Chain A
Amino acid sequence: MLNLRLTILFSILCWSLRVSATPSVTDSATAKKDKVNIAEVAFEHILDAHSWHLWGAGHDALAIPLPVILKTESGWQFFMSSAFHHDTHGAYVVEINGTRLINYKETIYYASETANAHGSYISERVNNGKIELTNAKPLDLSITKNVAQLFLAMGVLLYVFIAMARSYANHGIYTSPKGKQSLLEPLIVFVRDDIAKTNIGNRSERFVPYLLTVFFLILINNIFGLIPIGANVTGNIAFTFVLATITLIVTNVNGNSHYWKHILLPKPLYLWPILMPIELVGIFTKPFALMIRLFANMTAGHIIVISLVGLIFVFESLWISPISVAFALFIDVLECLVALLQAYIFTLLTALFIGSAVADHNNDGVHNDEDEKLLNPSH
């Protein structure tokens, strides 16, 4: 997201100073048109990609090639994303083991027999006024930019926390926390006490590792997303989908009899036909909201920053840049807060859902009539 900003600002500089004497030094693919399509640029930077783009555009782009893993009609195919030669318009056909593949807007399709008018090997048809691609897709398990960042995040988390665990072993646990410990211990204690214990109660301990993993995985990916060349992992719906699904599973697997009674036999009885379906749907709407919330918040923040920088291109003036930069900086600082906040909210709500499923309301370890009294003091 931010790399775009840097690239754009730099090229703006060149542009306004008329350094770009040769038309080949183009700023991006969009430079083909007179006006930059900001929406397209924004989505390009929010969506996943098969290579890790650093800077530059077109054939001059510098990108880290990533492995492409496909299950095609002719079996598993492995090759590096550099095989596409930075092409994302379906114009460059990669032929591997007799399978012809194209990268069209960062999705890999089987190439059509012939190229269309724009040189893309795609076939389109109009369906209800919408243009649809008819090309079939192989099963794509590539190490995309997001997956690569996930691996990186995993490596960092493992390194940091295992090193932290070791420092307890090495320096003893009775000394005051140092270095990583003093930074991360408050967060760990916060998740354990203020998120898990508050919302789940005295049986929170077994859920703490799950909540910690969720919290730190989201947090680190939120932060990586703010770094100029980082990937927008937490703003990807597949990522939030997986986390929300695991929360769904954890919640319902641990649901006690009271939880299920509340869903399947809601009171009062005469409203059962209405309430029961609502409660059943509620099982899914809660994690669904989790999924959408994180995805939308992170994506929205990134889009705002890109849009603000994009103003420079929309107005085609350098004089708008102080405003763009000032606002983008403001949003970026806000995003730092949001990075922490969204990790907190996701973890908090997960704990809340688990808490509602395992709740015994007086913390005696079982759900019984006493708890019912606590729930309905009027009865």
Chain B
Amino acid sequence: MFVLGSLITPGVGLIFWTSVVFLLLLFLLGKFAWKPILNAIKTREEHIKDALSSAEKALRDMRELQSNNDKILQQARAERDALLKEARATKDSIIAEAKTKAQEDAMRIVEVARELIENEKNQAQDELRKQVAQLSIEIAEKVLRQELKSASKQMEFVKQESDRIRLS
């Protein structure tokens, strides 16, 4: 068929112009469109990629910082607890020490007092004993003087005493 023949026979003119148009397009678009567009898209993609990764890094850093903070806080808390504990212990030990010391002091004072009292007592006893002896001698002297006022009584007494001495 005549028309079918022209359908599948490529025309020289169209081949020529298609080649011209295509090569021109390839050159012009390649230079003025594809190159800047592809570059722009690529740069933007890289920019987005960078931005995403830096955001992720920032997040990671922040988390790290936060965990650091937590750690520091925990450390501080532990330190505070330790300090408090230590202080309490110190206080307790100081009090205990003071108590012991006070007790010791009291005991010593009591001891000294006791010794003093003992001494005083002994002295007083000695004094008392001396006075009692004095008094007794005086009384005995007085009694003797009274008793032996008469000579008979003196003789009786001597006799009595000499009897006792003999008996014993």
A interface with B by C-beta (< 8 Å): 39-40, 43, 46-48, 69, 105-107, 131, 139-144, 146-147, 150-151, 153-154, 157-158, 161-162, 164-165, 168-169, 173-174, 185, 188-189, 192, 208-210, 212-213, 217, 236-239, 241-243, 246, 299
Contacts and interface: CB of A to CB of B under 8 A. Distances in A.
A122 B53 CA distance: 75
Contacts of A188: 37-38, 41
A43 B7 contact: yes
A185 to B, nearest CB: 7
Interface in B33-66: 33-38, 40-41, 43-44, 47
Given A165-B36, A238-B11, 16 more contacts: A139-B12, A141-B16, A142-B13, A147-B17, A150-B18, A158-B25, A161-B29, A161-B37, A162-B32, A165-B37, A188-B41, A209-B29, A236-B11, A238-B14, A239-B18, A241-B10
A207 B41 CA distance: 16
A306 B162 CA distance: 188
Contact of A299 (B7, B9, B26): B7
A105 B6 contact: yes
Given A165-B37, A241-B15, A157 B29 contact: yes
Interface centre among B9, B15, B36, B37 (most CB of A within 10 A): B37
A209 B2 contact: no
B22 A141 contact: no
Interface residues of B, number: 37
B19 interface: yes
Contacts of A140: 11-13
A237 B2 contact: no
Question: Does more than half of chain B's interface fall in helix, strand or loop, or is it mixed?
Answer: helix
A241 B22 CA distance: 12
A147 B41 contact: no
Given A47-B6, A192-B38, A144 B44 contact: no
B3 A43 contact: yes
A225 B25 CA distance: 19
Contact of A161 (B19, B26, B33, B41): B33
B22 A246 contact: yes
Given A47-B7, A188-B37, A154 B25 contact: yes
Contact of A48 (B3, B14, B32, B36): B14
B28 interface: yes
B34 A208 contact: yes
Contacts of A208: 34, 38
Contacts of B6: 43, 47, 105-107
A154 B33 CA distance: 13
B14 A151 contact: no
B84 interface: no
A151 B2 CA distance: 29
Given A107-B6, A237-B8, A209 B30 contact: yes
Cβ-closest 9 pairs across A and B? A161-B33, A238-B10, A238-B14, A168-B40, A165-B36, A242-B18, A43-B3, A209-B34, A147-B17
B133 interface: no
A141 B21 contact: no
Best-buried of B36, B40, B43 by chain A (most CB within 10 Å): B40
Given A47-B6, A158-B29, A185 B14 contact: no
Nearest to A164: B37
Contact of B22 (A139, A143, A242): A242
B18 A213 contact: no
Nearest to A292: B8
A162 B33 CA distance: 5
Contacts of B25: 154, 157-158, 213, 217
B24 interface: yes
B24 A154 contact: yes
A168 B142 CA distance: 149
A161 B19 CA distance: 20
Contact of A143 (B10, B17, B28, B44): B17
